[in-house]
Structure 1
Amino acid sequence: MRHIRLLVPGNIRHSSGGNVYNARLVAGLRELGAAVDVISVEGDWPHAGATERRRLGTFLEASEPGGGPGQAVAIVDGLVAVGAPAELEAAARAGQETWVLVHMPVPESSGESSLADEARALSAVAGVICTSAWAASVLTERGLPQAHVALPGVDPAAQAGGSTPPHLAVVAALLPNKDQMLAVEALALVQDLPWTASLVGSDRADPDYAREVRAAITENSLQERVRFTGELAGEALEAEWARTDLSLLVSRQEAFGMAVTESLARGIPVLVREGTGAEEALGLAGLTAADGGPRLPGAALPLPEGGQESPRLLAGVLRHWLQDPDMRESWRAAALEARTRLPDWGITARGVLALLAEQD
């Protein structure tokens, strides 16, 4: 059984999908008997300074390479890896087996330098594990010879009862990429219908953006209908899910979107942005319609960035869902069926161990 060192970024302290995945992967690996050390690497990753990069190099060197079958292996979170290509190259030259766990490929908008660092880092290591097929396809299109996939699991959860009037939830840290502003703009266009909504997530990850979202809610007179909950966990989060009838994850970029499968685990349908990894998560259960095509427990919407087209499109779908009982029932039935067909975290951990075993 491998001795695994998982190196994670110390600067992501809100409940991100990457943090949750890392924690659940570690728990799953330990349940399977693997010895796992979690090392939090401080620094402003992926833009850490020289001191933090040297410290990362020290952590990699401490993994005691060269021990043959069963030797220690380092798995580096992708956010750290793309900020330290030279350190990963040095570890490879020293014979250290290192893998990178990619939660989100570097965005194209990051520029040529960042994309080049990503390519260097991923080329230097023994293997690359992606948390979605979407992410793996992005990397292979950029020239990476091979990217393995270990999809997130999901924990069983109680079926949501919903609310009257219908309650909508956006479960994500308040960040520009998560595009809560789009959700607010769309909700402002359906004020004539009964509903309530919650924005569930940290407002400290990007305080300026959080203030912009709050201002938009005030400007559209939605203060009595849209509630900020902050980051929730445990019973408080379960209570929020229990009252939810529809969730939204309309991120501009999303490698997978574990909030989607967490929603489906409770029988709650989801609206996502087409073309992102959230669409993969929505179709994970593999439901089939009567005509043989995919049957989604919700919908994936084409939502271009900028302008008023996307708020109007999203508002139109919300209006239809709010006014059409048959549509609500159809989406709900699909979500309830998907609920029984989602993978658990044990599958994720076994998949990762199998990949590492191939290198022995």
Structure 2
Amino acid sequence: MRFVLPADVADPAGPSGGNVYDLRVSAGMDRLLVAGDWPRPHNTAALEQTLAGIPDGEVVLLDGLVCCGVPEVVVPHARRLRLAVLVHLPLADETGLDPATAAFLDERERQVLRAASAVIATSPTAAADLRVRHGLANVHVVVPGTDPAPVATGTDGVHNLLCVASITPRKGHDVLVRALQGIDADWRLTCVGPHGPFLAQLPPDDRVSYPGPLAGEALTSAYATADLFVLASRAETWGMVVTEALAHGLPVIASAVPDALGDGGTLVPIGDESAFAAALTCWFHDQKYRDGLRVRARVRRAALSTWDESTEDLRRVLATLRP
């Protein structure tokens, strides 16, 4: 089984949920790494050579970031290979695209996905969107897994907030910080994730720290000492950091993650600063609300899928493509 991935999938300087997903579910697969500035590469030679080197009739899984923007490369190979495309986020849904660029990417993605033998989404909501958006019938769902984790001990049980996400417009740090700044409480927010140019546009506040990407014990410690997990994303197909937080039993207030969150926390409308502020105000000032959120997080924690289950679900989908 072959899995075509972006070459930077294991880059520790730029961790992402999509990269973690790819690495975890591809254990035992032949990983074919292709370099390029995806999804709109200046040079597609690496991808062309990689696909050309795969024998006819083989089942090949492709990361959507690599393939969905280049139908001129991928579609001809769909006639001789059994291609499955894993879509982490539709190309047109990246924050900040102008309408013309979004429409251009949407059309190119549509060509690729309609040519594929199967399409895999990482949540039921994302799968439904792809079916409607591109007129597809062959969309399967393989949700991300989680690793078992100890329940977070927290700090004082209220005021230490954690957000784990790349500092980009799509992750909504601006909404989150502004919402917090209007609340009368002694809060502290740690924003873990790679720094981008968007960091300079965020409201300055000494109560917010940006330690950059963390991994291993440092990330585990960040979850363990948090009292509440917050995420103000404008677009997500799943939201792996939310299930990671829930695996630690952390209460969650978030947007754009209905499938990952389930009944495990408070889901607020996307981009709604007032709604975020209202939920956070309840958290800081209402003990009953905090207790209820903790109970819901623990219940959701017990129902989370493991990575072994996710890997097996993916392999079952790919097995249906074999002759």
Give the TM-score normalised by structure 2. 0.92
Provide the residue aligned with 2:259 in structure 1: 280
Q: 1:139 aligns with which of 130, 133, 149?
A: 130
Provide the residue aligned with 1:286 in structure 2: none
Which stretches of structure 1, 4 residues or more, deviate above 2 A after TM superposition?
10-13, 106-112, 310-313
Does residue 299 (structure 1) correspond to residue 291 (structure 2)? The answer is no
Q: 1:159 aligns with which of 144, 151, 158?
A: 151
Equivalent residues of 2:92, 2:103 under 8 A apart: no
Q: 2:69 aligns with which of 75, 83, 86?
A: 83
Equivalent residues of 1:185, 1:311 under 8 A apart: yes
Provide the residue aligned with 2:89 in structure 1: 104
Matches of 1:40 and 1:357, distance apart in 2:
22
Where in structure 2 are there 5+ consecutive unaligned residues? 94-98
Matches of 2:113 and 2:274, distance apart in 1:
40
Matches of 1:140 and 1:160, distance apart in 2:
38
Matches of 1:132 and 1:15, distance apart in 2:
20
The secondary structure found in structure 2 opposite 1:340 is helix
Provide the residue aligned with 1:177 in structure 2: 170
Quote the RMSD (CA, aligned, Å).
Answer: 1.5
The secondary structure found in structure 1 opposite 2:26 is helix
Matches of 1:6 and 1:244, distance apart in 2:
36
Map Cα deviations across residues 227-272 of structure 1 (whole Å, 9 max, x no partner).
1111000000000000111111211111110011000000001112
Q: 1:260 aligns with which of 242, 254, 266?
A: 242
Matches of 1:92 and 1:107, distance apart in 2:
22
Does residue 18 (structure 1) correspond to residue 1 (structure 2)? The answer is no
Q: 1:346 aligns with which of 292, 308, 312?
A: 308
Equivalent residues of 1:57, 1:91 under 8 A apart: no
Provide the residue aligned with 1:33 in structure 2: none
Does residue 118 (structure 1) correspond to residue 109 (structure 2)? The answer is yes
Matches of 2:193 and 2:267, distance apart in 1:
22
Equivalent residues of 1:163, 1:244 under 8 A apart: yes
Provide the residue aligned with 1:197 in structure 2: 189
Matches of 1:100 and 1:85, distance apart in 2:
12
Displacement after TM superposition at 1:54 (Å): 2.8
Matches of 1:150 and 1:161, distance apart in 2:
31
Displacement after TM superposition at 1:313 (Å): 2.4
The secondary structure found in structure 2 opposite 1:43 is coil
Give the TM-score normalised by structure 1. 0.83
Displacement after TM superposition at 1:40 (Å): 2.0
Displacement after TM superposition at 1:168 (Å): 0.7
- Percentage identity across paired residues of the two chains: 35
Alignment of 1:46-61 (within 5 A): 46-49=39-42, 51=43, 53-61=44-52
Residues 145/297 of structure 1: CA separation in 2 closer, same or farther (3 Å cut): closer
Displacement after TM superposition at 1:11 (Å): 5.2
Provide the residue aligned with 1:212 in structure 2: 201
Map Cα deviations across residues 11-44 of structure 1 (whole Å, 9 max, x no partner).
56411110010011123xx2xxxxx121221111
Displacement after TM superposition at 1:10 (Å): 2.9
Matches of 1:262 and 1:44, distance apart in 2:
29
Does residue 336 (structure 1) correspond to residue 289 (structure 2)? The answer is no
